[in-house]
Structure 1
């Protein structure tokens, strides 16, 4: 496919009217571990790369990756690269002209008219928020553009610069964590979730004391939603894939006996880091779906555990009663 400049107007149209939603497809682990061919030396601070999956039944062949130096409205400088597709997984590596913050997107112009129209395949990194160059981005799944309001996939979050990933790779080697690990358990766990509580209302006459459950203006009680950890029976199955370059992909499937959402799937992407005698999973991208529904973004927070080894298994233990044993996956 011949290289062509992306018109500024097209970039602005592509990025307009986005809402955050997505389907959170899992990474093709085998493809994600594929050997990358030797490339000419380039300043790592000028490289943005990542993985993109096509919607079901759609071919990514012919897609290109674009980066636009902020601000998006003026696109001070831009760069583009072909998306290479292997085993249904697209990979992009954009070499930008200068280090800086860029808006990144994938675009397959289905009819070749250089206009963003229904039928085109698109993906917007980091919900179209800028990302610093020099980053590896978390996997994202493209969507097929339809009439009406546009949507964007989850993913494309920055997972770390070259120096951070190099340190993560050293940690993985030191701790011998590379590989695919699995875990399963059933028991009581502390689960973070909402609860409606009745509490006294503050008024000119002082604190209310009647907690009988009358609400509204003038009532002595109010309701409030409080988030807290609660014990809950949970059956859990997890797969943790740690790559030799320091990145991880963690999938957890839970069956709960209580709450509005009984079947929960979570995916987390990020990099490994050492924290003294413990290991930290620096989560850059987290997603959750309920009952097989559409995945939604979760807060991405670092998670730190004590790590111990016994035979071929590894054990992660931490706060809130966490005590998980992972074994090499078949």
Structure 2
């Protein structure tokens, strides 16, 4: 019983420490921040690849590409692909550090297909130096496509950390190779 209690106490202590840090810094970020723009981002997408038959490959093989005895294999693989992504985001931060981040991404998902992903993330934000940490408590995601059925899922709790730059009423968050600049509304 004693060993089961220690990890739980560590989680509670970390949450309390994060909440205290968030409340102390939230006043500086308080407000409604908006971003709208289009940029190239790496998006994981399926691709069809023709590979020489003798070369082992990853993915799902659908047999010879040119019929019986073909020296090629057709494979469907998923890989990061540069895609133009149109994003609209609203990050609402009250003085107490609670936060709601609404994200809508629209991107191509094939030659004649468009995919729209809508997320709502609820949680708390805190800053430390040049980083913003978003502790997600819950959220939802809905994906719609012109070529496939819509799907929905619940987002799991987690922590996301972004590079942070502040200039007046401008807030820039960096993740990987992408930078999103928000304006205070």
TM range (shorter): 0.5 to 0.7
Query: What runs of 5+ residues in structure 1 fail to find an aligned partner?
Result: 1-99, 101-131, 136-157, 202-206
Q: Which residue of structure 2 aligns with residue 182 of structure 1?
A: 34
Q: Which residue of structure 2 aligns with residue 44 of structure 1?
A: none
Q: CA deviation at 1:308?
A: 1.7
Q: CA deviation at 1:268?
A: 1.2
Structure of higher CA gyration radius: 1
Q: Which residue, 215, 219, 234 being the options, matches 2:63?
A: 215
- Is 2:101 aligned against 1:247? no
| 1:197–1:297 Cα change, 3 Å | farther
Q: TM (normalized to structure 2)?
A: 0.68
Aligned-residue CA RMSD (Å)? 3.6
Q: Which residue of structure 2 aligns with residue 81 of structure 1?
A: none
Higher relative contact order, structure no. (Cα contacts within 8 Å, ≥ 6 residues apart): 2
- Is 2:124 aligned against 1:267? no
- Is 2:175 aligned against 1:318? yes
Query: What runs of 5+ residues in structure 2 fail to find an aligned partner?
Result: 65-69
Q: Which residue, 279, 291, 298 being the options, matches 2:144?
A: 291
Q: TM (normalized to structure 1)?
A: 0.41
Q: Which residue of structure 1 aligns with residue 20 of structure 2?
A: 166
Q: Is the 8 A contact 1:248 1:272 kept in 2?
A: yes
- Is 2:183 aligned against 1:327? yes
CA distance in structure 1 between the partners assigned to 2:136 and 2:175 by the alignment: 16
After superposition, the C-alpha distances for 1:147-194 in whole angstroms (9 at most, x for unaligned) are xxxxxxxxxxx9x84443222111223xx1011111100222222x34
Q: Is the 8 A contact 2:49 2:77 kept in 1?
A: no
CA distance in structure 1 between the partners assigned to 2:157 and 2:16 by the alignment: 20
